[in-house]
Amino acid sequence: MTEPINLLVTLDAGYLPPLKVMLWSLYANNRRQVVHVWLVHEKLTDAQIASVRALTDGLGWQLTALPVKIDLTDQPALIKRYPPAMYFRLLCGQVLPKDVHRVIYLDPDIIVINDITPLWQLDLQGKMLAASAHRGVTKLVDSVNQLRLGTNTSYFNSGVLVIDVDQAREKIRLADITEAIETYHDSLILPDQDILNFLYGEAIMEIDEEVWNYDTRKYLIYQTRNLTQHDIHWVMAHTVILHYCGTPKPWDATSDSKFTSLFLNYQQQVDRFLA
């Protein structure tokens, strides 16, 4: 395919190793696709960026690193205590060049195990964003979060997003985000995700979590919800994005879940490639 996928990642230095695993898994399962990685960061060093570029160059991809400094000096201490990187994915419209019209955002604690092209080509039907809602067996989590945040939409996970950047440029403002944090801080549990849902939930199109944002902690829940039909064979054939939500992370020594070995295998592959 000639048009590159614009992939947005925002992180600090601590997540560079898993980022490389995520990028390698995307390459391994999308070898015909060209990717432009937009690395938005606050204070990565040149050497740290070069370590990512060694991988993207080896894959034949383009990497653009964009250092961003959000000025919060005039904001209350409550807002200053949140890491500035929290704002980067939502404010991508203010950061990315004007000729970037769409991006896929992925958290670094993710691996891609099938073709991501349908997500890139997704018809947003006029919505600004696409995201998945992580639910249990029932929709109780939606009801709880609707009550907590005063919303009437599903509660969306912010780890995988398709973003209409043109709409984001027009509609997402730092002032709105900081005002919401200051006003509703007592109700916030996951500030970036809560703000996404509180301010922009109506602008999100829901996509299937078991395909596009599979919470690896919830294998048994997914099995129960689908009457055991979505077993590990179904996951490997149909799921595109595995998201290692929560702790421990798969690169931690204490991790020993059904999906740990899959991550570690991709980790070995990218380490050998870079070596």
Rounded mean pLDDT of the chain? 91
Does 203 score more than 70 pLDDT? Answer: yes
Are 210 and 182 in contact by the 8 Å Cβ rule? The answer is no
| Mean pLDDT for the stretch of residues 118-145 | 80
User: Can you say whether the dihedral through the CA atoms of 114, 118, 121, 123 is positive or negative?
Assistant: negative
Q: Where do the structural domains in the chain lie, given as residue ranges?
A: 5-274
User: What pLDDT does 138 receive?
Assistant: 47
| Mean pLDDT for the stretch of residues 220-235 | 93
| Mean pLDDT for the stretch of residues 222-239 | 94
Whole-model pTM: value is 0.93
**151 vs 74, which has greater pLDDT?**
74
Residues paired with 183 in a beta bridge: none
User: What pLDDT does 161 receive?
Assistant: 98
Domain 5-274, what fold? Spore Coat Polysaccharide Biosynthesis Protein SpsA; Chain A (3.90.550)
Of the pLDDT bands very low, low, confident and very high (cuts 50, 70, 90), residue 139 is low
**146 vs 249, which has greater pLDDT?**
249
User: What pLDDT does 137 receive?
Assistant: 47
Q: Which residue has the tokens 């602008």?
A: 203
